[in-house]
Amino acid sequence: MSKFTVLDLFSGAGGLSKGFLDAGFDVLLGVDNDNAALSTFELNHNGAKALSLDLSDKKVFKDIENIIGNRELDVIVAGPPCQGFSLSGPRNFDDERNKLYLAVIKTVKTFKPKAFIIENVPGMATLYNGEIKDEILKRFKKMGYNISCKILCAADYGVPQMRRRLIFMGVRKDIGEPHFPNPTYDEKNYITCRDAISDLPSRESELGENTDIYIDLPKTKYQIKMRGKCKVLSNHVGTNHTTLVRETIALVPEGGNYKDLPEGWGESRKFNEAWTRYDGNKPSKTIDTGHRNHFHYKYNRVPTVRENARLQSFPDDFVFLGTKTQQYRQVGNAVPPLLGFALANELIKILEKEFK
């Protein structure tokens, strides 16, 4: 049996489709409008193409068809930004401002894949008392899909990060019913920050190079998995903080934040995530697209791109391109590959029934 094929919409660097690739799917194409992220996608997806397109443009389907050729499209995965939703409410679901989500719906309607996965923030489930979520479910059911949604925590699937995301899974009615993967980890054995990044060079006395070498041997099974056969350490470049910033970070205890600072310190940043130092004995908080508010559990600096990538479960041979700011954004926007891997394996069970 040939591999199932995948199209990744709003792909970014391609964390979700990387999980599908590792599960044995054939990733054909990533579509986004972030050129740096698309360069990263194309470099790391085993020959897949990357296409810079405005997904609200009607011509997009012809461009996708030109690349896919005569291949049948089995699965569409997508992570459309939720900011597209208008504040006018669910009665105006077809509002122009909702075009990003509508683009996903139109793409599924056009290509009729066997299944699809859509990822979004947990707040989508309760937006307008759940009416947006219900409208999405209704539209896909009308298009001939059995569909379900559930909030999943990445840490439950081996990712060293407490990242919660709303996942929609749709399966064509002639094929089967959607179901989600069972958790493989819990609070007793979550992968921690220390498990994930304690083998990487400290970057305390030097910033390092964009391509470097490992100094220490891996210390955990997770580190062994992330290194794989990789010999070169990429994207592990430190940040040149001012003395004041370093001294402020040093005052925050492991697992603490701005509330632990003495009076008069860190006055420029006082909000929930400000001056947060990770707890080495727990998974990290949600990795964001910036790099100013979270700090290494041990060292007085922000995590490097590679450390954030490890906390997102990107293997070390997944290299991020672009400026350092672009790299941080690509990592923060991504779906953790190990969560994608769990979803992909669950879909394989569903799709393979069609051939039995």
The catalytic residues are 82
How far is CA 48 from each of CA 7, 25, 91, 279, rounded to the nearest angstrom?
10, 11, 38, 37
Which amino acid, 59?
K
User: Which residue, chain included where needed, has tokens 């077809």?
Assistant: 94
- For the chain, helix, strand, coil in percent to 5 are 35, 15, 50
CA angle 218, 157, 82 (to 5 degrees): 115
Both tokens assigned to 96: 């122009």
Which amino acid, 38?
L
Count of CB atoms situated within 10 Å of the CB of 333: 21
335 contacts: CB under 8 Å, gap ≥ 6: 15, 16, 19, 79, 119, 165
| Helix residue ranges per DSSP H, the chain | 15-22, 35-44, 60-68, 99-111, 131-142, 193-197, 221-227, 243-250, 305-311, 324-333, 337-352
3-class SS at 312? coil
Both tokens assigned to 144: 């001939």
3-class SS at 8? strand
Report d(CA 104, CA 317) in Å as an integer: 30
Both tokens assigned to 149: 């949604």
29 membership: H or E segment, kind and range: strand 26-32
